[in-house]
Amino acid sequence: MKKLSALLLAGAVSVMAQAAFAADTTVEFWHSFKSTASNGKAIGEIIANFEKANPDIHIDSQFIGNYDDIVAKLQAAIPARRAPDAVIMEVTRYGLFADRGVLDDLTNQLANDPLSADLFGFAREVGVYDGKNYIVPFNSSTPVLYVNTDIFKKAGFAELPPLKTFDDISAAARQITEKLGGDGVMGMTAPGQFSRWGLVMSNDSDLIDSKTGDILIDSPNTIEAYEWMASLVKDKLASADGVTDEKNDKQVFLSGHAGMMMNSTGDYGDVKKGLGDNVVVLPMPCNKVCAVPIGGAGIGILSSADPKVKDAAYKFMSFAASPESNAIWFAATGYMPINKKTMNQPLAAEALAKEQGIDVAIKQLDFARGRPRPPVVTWMRTNEYDVWQAIALGTKDAKSALTDFAARTREEAARLAK
């Protein structure tokens, strides 16, 4: 049996190699979707469908890491002339590369593509920087609140309590920790950066104003939101492990050691796979206002790519945003539909009917906002992790840490503007 499996695997690899060799054009595509995860399997299916329809093009799909990893490795690859042809770019970070001429301006291609009329307004908007299109949307998201109902029952909740404000979340997390803490179960995971941004917005503030570019990191409502988030860790209602390594939060939740998790709707597929009917998806809390950030990414083309490869890359990007491909992606992952015709696809309609909570992020679009994308945002997001850790672990108080961080962000914005 092992010998047969090895032969089958060798045959599959041989077929893939022959297909790549036979293709006239190869597009090196960097992305952030691990092959073993729901999103990795979905992007693999979309690529296979594209290559079947376009046998002259091979997509050399490469998992690079998370969005931060992609930025760091792209910055290293560009001067070494080892950059890919196409790359997944998170919606607040691509402005740095567009500003420096690293990404191709796709305005004309998108304007002449029938796809353009089919994209939702929010999806089209996230690809625009300084009046030009630099990415074609692919995966769009908002943060949502995941709840393990089994843990809530064990903690003594006959039904889910209201989870609409910071106080609601704290009260529920406290009861879970007090009842189940002896078994290693905490109220929730520490919020990751995407969720932290959403919690700041729900407290009627922002980190950087998406319209004016004003730095709001040191505004009173931002400070108040960070103080509340840090209190979850300080009072042992949220695990400190997720503070020092945000990749841990999903595993903590999926392993049954936390009652709540605030994370991207793009984690829906893996969460449902791990917890099944024990998970309920709810909107993010509306503390002072209802507001959530639009996250996710789009695909950009490197200006250094060969013209023929650029054409092939754009063809793939347009295919990936089609209703057929977007339905595969939505049903497998929970990322929001970006194409107006996606929900007419049987696969998407079936997921919407059967998968509880997969529509929560879509409903949040009524109060979702795009975020700023000037070059300073990439710097700010990279440095925010250390600031948050200092606040959450108690080495600095929120007001002084954020006042200093805001000043440094303003200095960096001024430097980049020169």
What pLDDT score does 93 carry?
A: 94
Dihedral (CA of 29, 32, 36, 40) sign: negative
The residue whose two tokens read 């945000």 is: 246
Q: Which two tokens stand for residue 343?
A: 């929900």
What pLDDT score does 177 carry?
A: 97
What pLDDT score does 241 carry?
A: 84
C-alpha dihedral, 32 to 35 to 39 to 42, nearest 10°: 120
Angle, helices 166-180/220-234, rounded to nearest 10 degrees? 10
What pLDDT score does 68 carry?
A: 93
Q: How many residues does the chain have?
A: 418
Name the pTM for this structure. Answer: 0.90
3 state SS of 268: helix
How would you write the pLDDT of the chain (418 residues) with one tens digit per residue?
334 334 334 444 444 444 445 679 999 999 999 999 999 999 999 999 999 999 999 999 999 999 999 999 999 999 999 999 999 999 999 999 999 999 999 999 999 999 999 999 999 999 999 999 999 999 999 999 999 999 999 999 999 999 999 999 999 999 999 999 999 999 999 999 999 999 999 999 999 999 899 999 999 999 999 999 999 999 999 988 889 889 888 999 999 999 999 999 999 999 999 999 999 999 999 999 999 999 999 999 999 999 999 999 999 999 999 999 999 999 999 999 999 999 999 999 999 999 999 999 999 999 999 999 999 999 999 999 999 999 999 999 999 999 999 999 999 999 998 8
Report the distance separating Cα 266 and Cα 121, nearest Å: 19
Which domains does the chain possess?
A: 24-141+295-369 (3.40.190.10), 151-293+374-417 (3.40.190.10)
Of 324, 320, 265, 272, nearest in space to 295 by CA: 265
Report the distance separating Cα 152 and Cα 116, nearest Å: 44
Asked whether 201 and 292 are in contact (CB, 8 A), the reply is yes
